[in-house]
Amino acid sequence: NLNVNPLPDSAFENIKLVNCDDVRQEAKAIALIIRKNLEIPEKTTALVTMDRNLSRRVISELAKWGISADDSAGQPLNLSPIGIYLRLILNYVAEKTQTAMMALLKHPFTACGESYAEFNQKVRHLELTWRRGKELSDEQKDLLKNFEERLYPLAEIYENSEADVKKLFCAHIKVAESLADTDLKSGDKIIWRQDAGKTAGDFVMSFMEKCNNLENIQTIDYEGFFNTLLSEYNVRSRYGMHPRVKILGPIEARLTQYDTVIIGEANEGCWPQMPRADMWMSRPMKKDFGLPQPERAVGVAAADFAHLLNAPEVYVTRAKKVDGAPSNKSRWWLRFETVLAANFNSQADKYDFIYEQPFSVWARNLDSCAEPRACAAPAPCPPVEHRPRILSATNVDNLRRDPYTIYAKYILDLYPLDDLDKEDSASDYGSFIHEVLQKFNDLHNRDYPEKEKAEAELLKIAEEKLKDKHIKDETAALWRERILQQLKWIVETEIRYREDIDLVHNEIKGQIKLNAPAGDFTITAKADRLDETKDGYVNIIDYKTGKSASVRAVVAGNAPQLPIEGIIAEAGGFADVLPQMVKSFQYWDFKTVKTTSEEQSRKAMEVTVKNLAELLADFDNPETPYIANPVRGLGSDYAHLSRFLEWSVKEDVVEEEDENE
């Protein structure tokens, strides 16, 4: 019939189809349509959708232009500032972690009886102290004490596995008000204000009336229970919304008229929503009881969709992908395309005007630059007077491999920060083993005990260290077997090795001054061990719980740490150690001993002296940049600072040859 009685072209003039790549692009396109309409005086626009995620995205996009759109569905109370605040309190009481504590302390409502400015400054310093692994100051301890005291009424209840719901709820609200106290106002006059606060207050009053009918609850379940209750309430803003922009659901849109209607997310599953199986009544049961079938909702949605198409101007939008998965066009979108094809005798070029909308293209290019250009790798060239004049042996290696690390650390004065609730890592295990061996060798720096006694004493020291460092039980359990094997290997190796050793120095510090074009340059070092042999030489030992350098790398100058320590030792740069010739450099990796001969040690130091002179001369030249090494940057603490991912393509990076082979 459509082919026999074609509709006039004017029947389609008011309807435009906007096909977007994803939901983010769709939200931007809708925001652009609304923004364009607001340029026309008195023109009204409504977005009609059942997708709450899309509506939130559109509201966020409009906020960039200072447009506050009125969403009739409101915002779930659990996502409002007061809702998040109440949930953060429960999250910390349940988890008791540094991360959960900082999230609560940083919330705008938290002040613990102080002014916001002073409290926020203290919280920032507390976080930096934790992230730098330093001891807390007295002021920070007082801050935590005050915080825990205000939290105590709720924390005390959480110590029990079960609690009365009303008592638990009252303690929760009391703690929320107490934590929100400032130096000028009490918390109850702060958190219950504005639209979200008033809605939360209504929720509290309503729940208090119902608490008497509830039994005890498991404290572990209270957080989820409370969040579910909060999500049932919606916060609706009463003031400050734009008068010509509305975001509606299909039911609310039935009795209203707008100049422009945008039907959002026209995909199957949204327009229409799929019928859901009822967990209580089957389809035959509903029919017997005279209840409507699930498909009735599809018919109602079809009527709403048809009603919306009658607006003076209609945009129907969809996203080809939702949450990363391909989506299917709404059955009514497909029906509309079928009608178009029939009306124009399947000649698509005649109805391209329905699709030729610039909004999806504008949305795609809204945040892109006109001419994309590759970002160059950083190459800062600070003046020589601002360049460091003292470096450790480890950082000399960094200067050679990845100079940008030295620039960030010693010129910008930026240091890596630990994560909150930092888990014990491989480096922590290495430091632990070093401390155990240092304490043992300090006690036995000349004579080594018998095998059984040495093993027992080492294991005792290890257990004491595990306790002193408060290593978690699960981590300690994983470490113990490894500790046992490695300490046994150490004892067997030491018994043979100590026959030629006169004195052992542990974790000994030293330094040497070298001549450079811009003046003296100091290189420091901290040797794991420096052993004086009975024939008047020294051996320099480095413990490695991970991968160690090869002898070839040391001799070639590609692993300069031990040769630098050797140079310092021969110059008498280590305290309490007379200048002595180096006999060998050794890596003890708890499986094997990699050691250089005396000839190889001499060659390694000669190469290192030459390389040091060239390296220092290069960086005393003000035109020498501190470049970021791409391959090295992958594992660098400063890769993000150098914008590594912006100026390099990982697939194009040539893997660095292993110099330690």
The total number of residues shown for the chain amounts to 661
How buried is residue 618: exposed, middle or buried, by Cβ count under 10 Å (0-12/13-18/19+)? Answer: middle
Q: Would you call 381 helix, strand, or coil by DSSP?
A: coil
E strand intervals along 35-126: 45-48, 70-71, 75-76
State both tokens at 84: 């998040």
State both tokens at 94: 């349940």
Is the pLDDT assigned to residue 645 strictly greater than 90?
no
The rounded percent of the chain whose pLDDT value lies above 70 is 94
Taking only the tens place, the pLDDT of each residue in 610-636 is: 999 999 999 999 999 999 875 555 568
Q: pLDDT band at residue 75, thresholds of 50, 70 and 90?
A: confident
List residues bridging with 525 in a β-sheet: 510
CB neighbour list of residue 454: distance below 8 Å, 6 or more residues apart: 440, 444, 448, 491, 494, 495
Count other C-beta atoms under 10 Å from residue 315's C-beta: 24
Taking only the tens place, the pLDDT of each residue in 282-336 is: 878 888 888 877 778 888 889 999 899 889 999 999 999 988 889 999 998 888 8
Dist CA 29 CA 32 (whole Å): 5
Residue 513's H or E segment, with its range, is: strand 501-516
List residues bridging with 217 in a β-sheet: 163
The rounded percent of the chain whose pLDDT value lies above 90 is 56
Taking only the tens place, the pLDDT of each residue in 564-596 is: 999 999 999 998 888 899 999 999 998 899 999
Taking only the tens place, the pLDDT of each residue in 343-388 is: 777 666 667 778 867 888 899 888 777 777 777 889 999 999 999 9
Per 3-state DSSP, the chain is made up of helix, strand and coil in percentages (nearest 5) of 50, 15, 35
State both tokens at 433: 């083993």
Taking only the tens place, the pLDDT of each residue in 459-486 is: 999 999 888 887 888 888 889 888 999 9
Dist CA 26 CA 531 (whole Å): 70
Dist CA 576 CA 578 (whole Å): 7
State both tokens at 287: 């029919």
Q: DSSP letter at 371?
A: S
Dist CA 635 CA 640 (whole Å): 10
Q: Which pLDDT score, from 0 to 100, does residue 238 have?
A: 74
Looking at per-residue pLDDT, the higher value among 653 and 141 belongs to 141
Dist CA 514 CA 611 (whole Å): 12
Taking only the tens place, the pLDDT of each residue in 490-521 is: 999 999 999 889 999 999 999 999 999 999 99
Taking each helix axis from N to C end, the angle separating 138-158 and 81-95, rounded to the nearest 10 degrees, works out to: 90
Taking each helix axis from N to C end, the angle separating 165-179 and 219-231, rounded to the nearest 10 degrees, works out to: 70
Taking only the tens place, the pLDDT of each residue in 31-74 is: 999 999 999 999 999 999 988 889 999 999 999 999 988 888 88
Contact 48, 314 (CB under 8 A): no
Q: pLDDT band at residue 280, thresholds of 50, 70 and 90?
A: confident
Q: pLDDT band at residue 651, thresholds of 50, 70 and 90?
A: very low
Dist CA 198 CA 194 (whole Å): 6
State both tokens at 322: 């939702």
What mean pLDDT, rounded, does the chain reach? 88
State both tokens at 352: 């391209």
Taking only the tens place, the pLDDT of each residue in 143-189 is: 999 999 999 999 999 998 899 999 999 999 999 999 999 999 999 99
Dist CA 661 CA 595 (whole Å): 14
Q: Which pLDDT score, from 0 to 100, does residue 7 have?
A: 64
